[in-house]
Amino acid sequence: MSDKLVYVLNGPNLNRLGKREPAIYGSQTLDDIGAMLAERGRLLGASIVLFQSNHEGDLVDWLHEAQDAGAHAVLLNAGAYTHTSIALLDAIRSITVPVIEVHLSNPHTREGFRHTSWVGMAAKGTIAGFGAQSYLLALEAAVALTTDS
Ligand code: DQA
């Protein structure tokens, strides 16, 4: 059986992981997380495509691309756009590929403006608060998804 294609989309400031507020986001870089995902993906039969952009429209385009590429699932850490972007909400609703919302931190334990998630309104589910492990947990959940789950 061929590998399940999983898109991993990362929004603004996540290119700064490792240097950015390590007490909140940890010391691993996005490259480290990509390597962890690729390794776990090999075990689970998933091939990972990882993107990061600081621009909202790129994330919209990659959600559409995930559909066109026949992706099995998308892991989306939209960073601060999570809390502001109706364009991302609409983009998730414009595709049938399941999207799993991912966060390193747990936004619900933080400032009030992080308690709203437009992404979460359309996502299949959310994994937050486990640092870099959130991505691995989300990958496990993504691979386990079936068309009727
Ligand atoms: C984040 C949480 C967001 O509130 C924040 O804006 C980020 C990172 C996380 O992974 O914990 O940029 O998505």
Domains of the chain: 4-148 (3.40.50.9100)
Q: Rounded mean pLDDT of 114-126?
A: 98
DSSP character at residue 67: H
Q: How many Å lie between the centroid of ligand 1 and the Cα of residue 107? A: 7
Q: Rounded mean pLDDT of 56-66?
A: 98
Q: Which residue has the tokens 């996502």?
A: 123
pLDDT higher than 80, residue 91: yes
pLDDT higher than 90, residue 62: yes
Annotation says 7 is catalytic:
no
- The token pair at 135 is 């991505």
d(CA 105, CA 118): 17
pLDDT higher than 80, residue 76: yes
Substitution candidate for ligand 1 out of 9, 10, 53, 77 with most atoms within 8 A of CB: 77
The continuous run of DSSP H or E covering 28 comes out as: none
Contact 18, 28 (CB under 8 A): yes
- Choosing from 25, 72, 81, 135, the catalytic residue is 25
Average pLDDT value over all residues in the chain: 97
Please tell me the predicted confidence (pLDDT) of residue 147. 75
Q: List the beta bridge partners of residue 148.
A: none
pLDDT band at 148 (very low <50, low <70, confident <90, very high): confident
Q: Is 77 annotated as a binding residue?
A: yes
pLDDT band at 142 (very low <50, low <70, confident <90, very high): very high
pLDDT higher than 80, residue 110: yes
Q: Rounded mean pLDDT of 17-39?
A: 97
- List all residues whose CB is within 6 A of at least one atom of ligand 1: 13, 77, 79-80, 82, 103-105, 107, 114
Q: Rounded mean pLDDT of 17-25?
A: 96
pLDDT higher than 80, residue 50: yes
d(CA 108, CA 15): 23
d(CA 2, CA 116): 37
**Of all protein residues, whose CA lies closest to atom 2 belonging to ligand 1?**
79
Residue 63: which of 28, 55, 127, 71 has the closest Cα? 71
pLDDT higher than 80, residue 129: yes
